Amino acid sequence: MDGNWFHIARAEFQVQTSGIRTHRRIVVSGSIVLGIIWALLIAPTLIGYVLTEVLEIPRLAVAMVMPGLMRAGIMFIWLILLIPSLSNALQEVKVGQWEILLSNRVKTREILVGTFVGRLAIYGLCVLYLAPLLVAPFAHALAVSSVGLALMYFTVFVVTVSTIWLSNLVGTAIQSKLGASSRGKDLAKALALVLSPVAVFPLLGLQLFAPMMSEILGLDVFLLFPFTWGADLVTQIAVIFNGIGPSMEGLVAVLGLGPSLSLLLLGGFSIFVVLLGLYSADRFFIIGEGARTESVTTIHRENIVLRGVRRISSGSFGVLIVTGLKDFGRKAENLARLALLMALALLLPFFVFIRAGEFELTSVAIMMSLMLGFLGVQVFGGVGFLESKDQLWTIQATPHGVQRYVKAKAIQCILLIVPVVLLPSVLYAVVLRLNLSRILFLLSTSFISCLGGAFVGIGIAAGNPTYEDTKSGAYITNIVEGMGLVVVSSMSYLIAGIALSMLGFNDLMNYIRTSESLYILAQVMPLPIIGLLVILIGQHRLSNLE
Amino acid sequence: MKTENLSIITEGLTKSFGSVKAVSGLNLRVPVGTRFALLGPNGAGKTTTVRMLAGLMKPTRGSASVCGYDIISQRDEIKAVAGLLPETPGLYSKLSAAEFLEFVGALHHLHGDVLHRRIDALLSILGLEGRQDNLLESYSSGMKQKVLIASTLLHEPRVVFLDEPTSKLDPSASVLVKDLILALAEETDTTFFICTHITSFAQDVCDAIGILNEGELVTVGTPDAVVEAAHVRSLEEAYLKIVGGKIDREALLAWR
């Protein structure tokens, strides 16, 4: 490496700190100094004061929960550092940037090291400010010396740095493979979407089933994970440098590993991932000229569903629906969202099944409606609405183009939502042993809730299009607005109930409460009504002139 | 000049974005069947002018009509008779060329055999018949531009706004587009309003030229008249004389 990594690191750092570019040096160096003071002086004193003087929690009680809480905390840091950054890397395959780098004879290893170092400052700062919240209470409870405190922070820092490196390594390796074609980029986006559930669900499962697995394996399964080694080492350092008396012997029995073994495993793992990255870059994965050969996809005959839509709506509007469905269905990211929606919708009946006897139609219908509303916003709003501003020009340049486009999008949602809600509703029906009329009722409420959420999502995206940009403030605002509207609509019945009671219409509310169907409908119906209003407002805004 | 023979009329057309005046007091009269080129450097206001005339952007001041329709109150009527080729391609990456054209045709209320016949014919003229079922994500920028040109002509517009139509095309494709414009203008009385940087293209294709600089129309006339008025030998020289931008050799190498 002949220094190229440094230029890449500087550029990456400038990108990471673009928000404070006018005062970058002062803000970053000031934050580092303040962070060190916070970590070594302010946090231990402040947290110690709150624990002992305000909350009056005995030191020993805090010390007792340390091993478990430390493991959970470090696992959380691990996930937070690993998944979002990996997901971001997959969302944004930087082929354009690679072209510039490669035209300057830069090696993959230099890209790997440069992006890692560039990100280190910001992630490091986050750790500097957040780690004391985890470490300081225990350091205070055990009266850990300054050397011990510094070693505890250093261990957290090593865990953090090795995790960032690992995330950067995996992200770069996947990008080098998936950046090869537009299909690959599409798959990368889909992978980014399902990454969190795929990574989080097994860990949650691990938490639930750890005792059973430990029995089978004959050891604590958590000892197999690097975050456990880091967490245990922090706990062990706290005990070694403690000022109140607990000894190491008892702790080893609780944790399963001694401090030297924890240190060895954590150190070994960190060195291993660093060497793995340095060795494998330019050998097993290369960001190079040969990687991005474009593949050509040829479309074939339309499937039976699309032909059916054309037959039912044979005019130009039918063409708009069919082309919209094709565009949606060919993006792996959209399919991943849809699959995720279905998987989450299926999780609820499973939950209901294992907690049999605690649920009935009302709670299931309301719960499912709320969740499907959220998912409708997520899947059909945001990025799936329009790819670019230029696409919007094309649509706006046609007579009533925007109105017809939005209407076609709404109909596409109806066609896509039907199969998604059908399966979980039927599963519920089986689990709850519902009759046919109730199955149809549950199916209808699920459908209108998901559609209501989709209308909210589309309406907000139409009013404030963010195109394919998932990192902009506008995109986040849209998602928050959409979620907020679903929550507000779910509370409409409650708000209306209070208002009507104050106005003396108690009888009406009582009448609604006595009928199960009316009660469910009163809870579920506001969302599609709000959705319709939002989509009309969005359509109007989108067709407005600049 | 009678207004019924005019395809485009602008009177004091102005567009400001905050304190920046993109187009300032534009007065233009473009007769039916004319091939009008709006020349100008980057940021001169060409694209803004086209967007206002196509009914996509509201002027800050002034008025304009296209085919007799007012650009503010009769936007949908303008969109029905006009075609717009945007500066950058806004294609659907996951649709094939044929599917994308079917989509644009449907936005113009076209469907069935008429639409499919036009799609096949336009793709064949533009040399894309063998690739029409490939997804647009695999197209080169020139091929994408051809698809966009086809989408602009699909509904047989009476006025066509072309924003940099040949900037991404190879020489033979540029000639093809030139011939297509000439044939349509002569045979069907279609009016072409073309924004371009390429003076040779404007000279070969257009019978009227306007040069826009910093939002203001600085000259307008036939290509020969513009060259003559500038006392130079070619349109490129006239453009450089009017707009500026010619730098001597010493200055060009001063960065070293």
- Can you spell out the DSSP letters for A283-337? TTB--SGGGGPPP--B--S--HHHHHHHHHS-SHHHHHHHHHHHHHHT-HHHHHH
The pLDDT of residue A532 is: 94
The pLDDT of residue A200 is: 56
pLDDT band, very low/low/confident/very high, at A455 (cuts 50, 70, 90): very high
How far is the C-alpha of A467 from the C-alpha of A460, rounded, in Å? 12
pLDDT of B4 over the 80 cut: no
Q: Among B75, B94, B106, select the one facing A320 at the smallest CB separation.
A: B106
Nearest CA in chain A to B80: A399
List the beta strands (DSSP E) in A334-394. Answer: none
B154 vs A: CB within 8 A: no
Least confident of A278-287, A324-333, B45-54: A278-287
Chain B residues with CB-CB distance to A296 below 8 A? 134-135, 138
Chain center to CA of A78: 14
B151 vs A: CB within 8 A: yes
A357 vs B: CB within 8 A: no
Nearest to A336 by CA among A197, A470, A450: A197
Q: Which amino acid is at B169?
A: L
B246 vs A: CB within 8 A: no
Q: What is the mean pLDDT of residues B136-156?
A: 89
Chain B residues with CB-CB distance to A299 below 8 A? 96, 99, 133-135
Interchain CB distance below 8 Å, B55 and A331: no
B187 by Cβ neighbours in 10 Å (0-12 / 13-18 / 19+) ranks as exposed
Chain B residues with CB-CB distance to A397 below 8 A? 54-56, 79, 82-84, 86
pLDDT band, very low/low/confident/very high, at A249 (cuts 50, 70, 90): low
Q: Among A298, A319, A398, select the one facing B133 at the smallest CB separation.
A: A298
Can you list the alpha helix ranges (DSSP code H) found in chain B?
A: 46-53, 75-81, 97-107, 112-125, 141-153, 171-188, 199-205, 223-230, 235-243, 249-252
Choosing among B72, B73, B78, B94, which should be mutated to test the A contact, i.e. which has the most A CBs within 10 A?
A: B94
What are the backbone dihedrals phi and psi of residue A191, each rounded to the nearest 5 degrees, phi first? -65, -40
Highest mean pLDDT among A70-79, A96-105, A156-165: A156-165
Beta-sheet strand order (sheet of B216-221): B82-85, B159-163, B191-196, B35-39, B208-213, B216-221
The pLDDT of residue A129 is: 87
The pLDDT of residue A505 is: 78
Q: What is the pLDDT of residues A72-95, one digit of tens each?
A: 888 877 777 777 767 766 666 666
How far is the C-alpha of A521 from the C-alpha of A506, rounded, in Å? 18
Arithmetic mean of pLDDT over chain B: 89
| A371-387 per-residue burial string, b: 16 or more CB within 10 A, e: under 16 | bbbbbbbbbbbbbbbbb
pLDDT band, very low/low/confident/very high, at A371 (cuts 50, 70, 90): confident
More confident position, A47 or A245: A47
The pLDDT of residue A120 is: 82
pLDDT band, very low/low/confident/very high, at A112 (cuts 50, 70, 90): confident
The pLDDT of residue A407 is: 93
pLDDT of A252 over the 80 cut: no
Interchain CB distance below 8 Å, A393 and B56: yes
The pLDDT of residue A180 is: 58
**How large a percentage of chain A has pLDDT more than 70?**
81
Chain B residues with CB-CB distance to A398 below 8 A? 79, 104, 107-108
Q: What is the pLDDT of residues A167-204, one digit of tens each?
A: 888 877 777 777 656 666 666 666 666 665 655 555 55
Asked whether the beta carbons of B53 and B161 are under 8 A apart, the reply is yes
Least confident of A51-65, A456-470, A528-542: A51-65
More confident position, A259 or A536: A536
The pLDDT of residue A100 is: 72
State the nearest Cα–Cα gap between B232 and chain A, in angstroms: 38
Interchain CB distance below 8 Å, A387 and B108: no
Q: What is the pLDDT of residues B152-173, one digit of tens each?
A: 999 999 999 999 888 888 888 8
CA atoms within 13 A on the CB side of A267: 8
Q: What is the mean pLDDT of residues A410-425?
A: 86
State the nearest Cα–Cα gap between B44 and chain A, in angstroms: 19
pLDDT band, very low/low/confident/very high, at A291 (cuts 50, 70, 90): very low
Choosing among B107, B132, B139, which should be mutated to test the A contact, i.e. which has the most A CBs within 10 A?
A: B107
The pLDDT of residue B1 is: 46
Chain B 204-243, residues with CB within 8 Å of chain A CB atoms:
none
The pLDDT of residue A2 is: 63
Interchain CB distance below 8 Å, A393 and B86: yes
Chain A residues with CB-CB distance to B56 below 8 A? 393, 396-397, 545-546
Chain A 278-297, residues with CB within 8 Å of chain B CB atoms:
294-297
Nearest CA in chain B to A185: B137
More confident position, B134 or A331: B134
Q: What is the mean pLDDT of residues A361-384?
A: 80
pLDDT of A290 over the 60 cut: no
Chain A residues with CB-CB distance to B76 below 8 A? 399-400
Interchain CB distance below 8 Å, A398 and B75: no
Look up residue B151 and give its two tokens. 């989408």
Q: What is the mean pLDDT of residues B50-75?
A: 93
Arithmetic mean of pLDDT over chain A: 80
Interchain CB distance below 8 Å, B138 and A546: no
Least confident of A234-243, A309-318, A410-419, A425-434: A425-434
Q: Among B86, B92, B111, select the one facing A316 at the smallest CB separation.
A: B111
Interchain CB distance below 8 Å, B90 and A326: no
pLDDT band, very low/low/confident/very high, at A338 (cuts 50, 70, 90): confident
The single-letter DSSP state of residue A544 is S
Interchain CB distance below 8 Å, A401 and B79: yes
Q: What is the mean pLDDT of residues A458-485?
A: 84
B107 vs A: CB within 8 A: yes
ipTM more than 0.90? Answer: no
